[in-house]
Amino acid sequence: MATRRPSSGLADSRGGSGPSPVPRGRPAWSPWRTVVAFGAVSLAGDMVYEGMRSVAGPFLGSLGASALLVGLITGAGEAVALLLRLFSGPLADRSGHYWSLTILGYAMTAVCVPLLAVAPFVGGVGLALAATLILLERTGKAIRSPSKSALLARVAVSVGRGRGFAVHKALDQVGAVAGPLVVAGVIAHAGVQWPAFAVLAIPGTVCILLLFTLRRHSDVAQPEIEAAPTADMAGIEPRTLPMHFYAFAVSCALGTLGLMTFGVISYHLVDAGLFTTAVVPLLYAAAMATEALAALVTGFAYDRWGAPILYTLPAVIIAVPALALSDTWPLVLTGVLIWGAATGVQDSTVKALVADLVPQRRLATAYGVFAAFQGVAALAGGTLAGGLYDEHRALLVVLVALAQVLSAGLLVVALRRRGAHTPT
């Protein structure tokens, strides 16, 4: 018979103090198995929305969008996915409905992306419909991410947060590679883009089924927090996050600004005549594979050497606009791969440090606040890149470089004020 453990405050009960989500008599999965299961859910989910993102720029362009409008729509989408976490994170912490919010967010992605297949058939409102569905899909991402990250962070503490987030990210990126490959194959076969969105309904359904299976078997608990909640929060006002966390959030936001959005990059690939629309998802898949490798390497390095490995991030991001928006395909390919590597570090190892910077009972709130900073930067980055794309790319490169210098300085401040350069 499974040993009943104290609740972690992550069950779906008001205030987070309800019973374990595992039904009585059913043994809970081990921490590693739970991490892998979260990765499998993300794998299926990423097939859906990363498949869509791989061709969002050319698809919007085919509906009549300009480079600036593509930058605004995709930048706004990333901003929505990040800024709304400022509300969904605290909501999860206050209500304790981590699982419900996670399920709702994935369901929105599973529905909205396949509906993009309708956009080319509704005439003049097709572009507006596509933009709305993209924003709704990104809203689903905002709803689920703080809750999912909090659930994962608390189970990953048993296996090492750097390793846990790295393995999860690697599995996540298998879907991020597979989705664009499926999209590329369907577009190459059909000659148009809309059937690819319809096919993505299949992994969307699989994602929801896997998530419900994980919910039934999971017992995400952290007894030390339950046993001595006052020790974890001693001297800390519950609504307050430490200042070094905010310095780190601004540092990463400046990195997000430099990474722009792949919508602008993919628009450039087709607009400059470097690649056909069917090839663009293949490049995106290559970027996602690089993202998975970077997440694994930096995640394991984080557990061994600590946060200073993140000093490499601003230096890497400087190269992205100069290469990805160039007019020769070898440089563009290099830029796309560097974009993927930097994105992988931001979406995995960075999250591990966030979990080590804040009180554990404020994890979802911290992820929400952190994402809000990134959301503003994503909107600014997409708009800036789209606006400067046609005639002022050199200025864009200079502005991104200056932002990364400031990012590196803030990272130094964040780690010094934290008082240590190793993970908690």
Alpha carbons 365 and 250: distance in angstroms, whole number: 16
85-95 vs 98-115: helix crossing angle, rounded to 10: 140
349-357 vs 280-305: helix crossing angle, rounded to 10: 40
- Give domain status of residue 20, yes or no: no
The domain containing residue 248 runs over which residues?
A: 26-220+238-418
Distances (CA, A) of 349 to 168, 312, 393: 11, 12, 30
For residue 405, what are its two tokens? 């210098």
- Give domain status of residue 308, yes or no: yes
- Give domain status of residue 8, yes or no: no
Least confident window among 78-82, 90-94, 187-191, 232-236: 232-236
Confidence of residue 352 (pLDDT cuts 50, 70, 90): confident
The predicted-structure confidence for 378-414, as pLDDT tens digits, reads as follows: 888 878 887 887 778 888 889 989 999 999 999 888 8
Domains: count for the chain = 1
Buried-exposed string 344-358: b where 16+ CB fall within 10 A, e elsewhere: bbbbbbbbbbbbbbb
The predicted-structure confidence for 250-293, as pLDDT tens digits, reads as follows: 998 998 888 877 888 888 888 888 888 888 888 988 988 888 78
- Give domain status of residue 30, yes or no: yes
- Give domain status of residue 228, yes or no: no
pLDDT at 246 over 80: yes
The predicted-structure confidence for 133-179, as pLDDT tens digits, reads as follows: 999 999 999 899 888 888 887 787 777 777 777 788 778 878 888 99
pLDDT at 14: 40
At 404, which helix (H) or strand (E)? helix 393-418
363-388 vs 262-271: helix crossing angle, rounded to 10: 30
- Give domain status of residue 424, yes or no: no
Least confident window among 111-125, 136-150, 200-214, 258-272: 258-272
Question: Are the beta carbons of 196 and 63 closer than 8 angstroms?
Answer: no
- Give domain status of residue 9, yes or no: no
pLDDT at 182: 93
Question: Are the beta carbons of 361 and 232 closer than 8 angstroms?
Answer: yes
- Give domain status of residue 161, yes or no: yes
pTM (global) more than 0.85? no
Which CATH number goes with the domain that contains 93? Answer: 1.20.1250.20
Confidence of residue 417 (pLDDT cuts 50, 70, 90): low
